[in-house]
Amino acid sequence: MPSPSSILDPAADKNQTELVKIASRFEVPDFVKEAAIEPSMDPIGSGLQIAVTAYADPVRKKFACHSAAATWLSSAYFHDKSAEYHPNDRRRVCERLEHFADYFGIRPAYDAIVKKAELLRGSDQLPDSSYAYVWEADNGSKERFYPLTSSAEVKVAAEWLHASRDRIPFVERHTISKKILEKAARYGTGLGEDLTSFIEKQAGRGIPNPASLYKMLENRAVLADNQVHREEIMKLAAAVKATPRQALQQNELIKLAGVVDVVDYSLGLIGKYTDLLPRPEDVIFEVTFTKAASEFSQLCTLQTGNIYAKDQLSKLARDSVVSVFGEDFADAVCTGFDVDPEKVADVAHTLPRPDAELLERLLAEAGQHPQMGKTAGVLDEASMHAMAEAYKR
């Protein structure tokens, strides 16, 4: 444990780096913001002459309390690191800080510091899962960043991840984002549409457009300067080309995102993304689950496996429906003389395959084609593993 003489107080914080941390941990009151910062933090260095009795730790001349602002600053610095004092010294310094807080009439602001410091010390007992990012050194020591114990902290962590996305590998962003989504759901945190979309993509909660996915891989292959890597990327691209997005397995997509992230690092693409060269996760998880869920109610899946948007069903003509399915069916799915897409959707997904195929013919005649089709096939896990191994070398 460091000696009290080595513990940082405002006067010793020459570059004010600790002040930045203090301001992020404690709510700085207006009377501190409005005070001159230099004489409040370092009276001697600013040319002021103060008595030794104006220090909360007069023995070491630390934690000057010659004004309300100085008292608040000294209190914040002290309580942030008070555990490093011997209990007897700590008690004496606390008593003097309380005395100065009462003298300058800032006791509520002082008590707020004490309460927040206790909460911060208590957070040290939180499990790793309560932090967005946990870094573990080779010697087993840990550093934990961005607690997730409130809605506000969850949003701060999400904003930090977005700002730091080019400095953190996808595999770590994936882990962090899953924690953020879990805590956001627990606290009912509103992250906003854009930030929610970003976090969901990092967490692998989305599906791709196969054509866009193929194009992304093809572009990476063109940029690869190693023939072996180029060929491996094109093999993967060829496998993806024939695979419809609803058949792509989520675990494989997450592996793919990690592989492409490594590829981008080796190609020097990190931080240089554009509309023509998008981020891997923006393609691989293009349609997030939240967006898909909001759109799902607007889709209709037939027994053929093909999926149509409900508004496409409104393009059917009543006469055509009558000619194929009869008057009773038409009456059930129409409002007046118009086909009602909601009514059609309610019954269309239950139609047996032969009838569903007839309905599709009517839709095709009306110029309406499936939004997506159901086809077998998944990414080959062995190929994915081979790609990952290739880019580890």
For 141-196, the pLDDT digits (tens) are 777 788 887 888 899 999 999 999 999 999 999 999 999 998 888 777 888 889 99
Same-domain status, 75 and 52: yes
Final residue of a domain: which of 101, 122, 143?
122
Pick the more confident residue, 303 or 195: 195
Number of folded domains in the chain? Answer: 4
Q: Is residue 98 part of a domain?
A: yes
Domain boundary among 122, 143, 163: 122
Distance of CA 116 to the CA centre of its chain: 26
Instruction: Select the more confidently predicted residue: 245 or 47.
Output: 47
**Res 109 pLDDT > 90:** yes
Question: Per the domain annotation, does 169 fall within a domain?
Answer: yes
Query: What is the tens place of the pLDDT at every residue in 249-301?
Result: 788 889 889 989 998 998 889 989 998 899 999 999 988 877 766 666 677 88
More confident residue, 130 or 273: 273
Contact call for residues 210 and 245 (beta carbons, < 8 A): yes
Instruction: List, in sequence order, the alpha helices (H) in 242-380.
Output: 250-267, 280-284, 289-296, 310-313, 318-325, 327-333, 341-348, 353-365
Which tokens belong to 187?
Answer: 């606290």
Residues 238 and 385 in one domain: yes
Q: What would the mean pLDDT of 117-134 be, rounded to a whole number?
A: 74
Residue 389 pLDDT > 50: no
State the pLDDT at residue 369. Answer: 87
Q: What are phi and psi of 141, to 5 degrees?
A: -70, 155
Instruction: Detail the DSSP E strand segments found in 108-168.
Output: 131-136, 142-147
Specify whether 84 is located in the same domain as 13. Answer: yes
Residue 44 lies in a domain: yes
In a domain, 268, yes or no: yes
Q: What is the mean pLDDT of residues 210-215?
A: 84
Residue 120 has a pLDDT of 75
Output the average pLDDT for the chain: 84
pLDDT at 335 > cutoff 70: yes
Q: Quick check: is 196 in a domain? A: no
Same domain, 27 and 163: no
16 with 113, same domain?
Answer: yes
Cβ pair 84, 44 in contact under 8 A: no
Q: Greater confidence, 6 or 362?
A: 362
Contact 366, 319 (CB under 8 A): no
Does residue 300 form part of some domain? Answer: no
Residues 108 and 240 in one domain: no
Contacts of 94 (CB under 8 A, 6+ apart): 78, 82
Residue 148 near residue 133 (C-beta atoms within 8 A): no
User: Among residues 103, 122, 141, which one ends one of the domains?
Assistant: 122
Among 141-145, 367-371, 383-387, top mean pLDDT goes to: 367-371
Among the ranges given (10-14, 37-41, 81-85, 131-135), the one the predictor scored with the smallest mean pLDDT: 81-85
231 confidence band (pLDDT: 50, 70, 90): confident
At residue 244, the pLDDT reads 53
The number of beta carbons lying within 10 Å of the beta carbon of residue 351 is 17
DSSP tag of 86? -
Regarding whether 241 and 385 lie in a shared domain, the answer is yes
Position 198 in a domain: no
Q: Are residues 218 and 348 in the same domain?
A: no
**Residue 380 pLDDT exceeds 70:** no
Q: Which residue has the tokens 């979309």?
A: 197
Predicted pLDDT at 273: 92
Q: Are residues 79 and 9 in the same domain?
A: yes
Are both 117 and 151 inside the same structural domain? no
Question: Are residue 147 and residue 101 in the same domain, yes or no?
Answer: no
Rounded to an integer, the average pLDDT of 71-83 is 88
Claim to verify: residue 182 and residue 280 sit in the same structural domain? no
Note the pTM of the prediction, 2 decimals. 0.49
Per the structure block, which two tokens stand in for 240?
A: 């993806």
**What is d(CA 345, CA 308) in angstroms, rounded to the nearest whole number?**
9
Taking Cα atoms as reference points, which of 108, 107, 74 lies closest to residue 93? 74
- State whether residue 308 is helix, strand or coil: strand
What tokens appear for 317 in the block?
Answer: 């003509």
Residue 343 lies inside a defined structural domain of this protein? yes
Say what the pLDDT of residue 5 is: 53
Domain range for 82 is 4-122
pLDDT of residue 250: 82
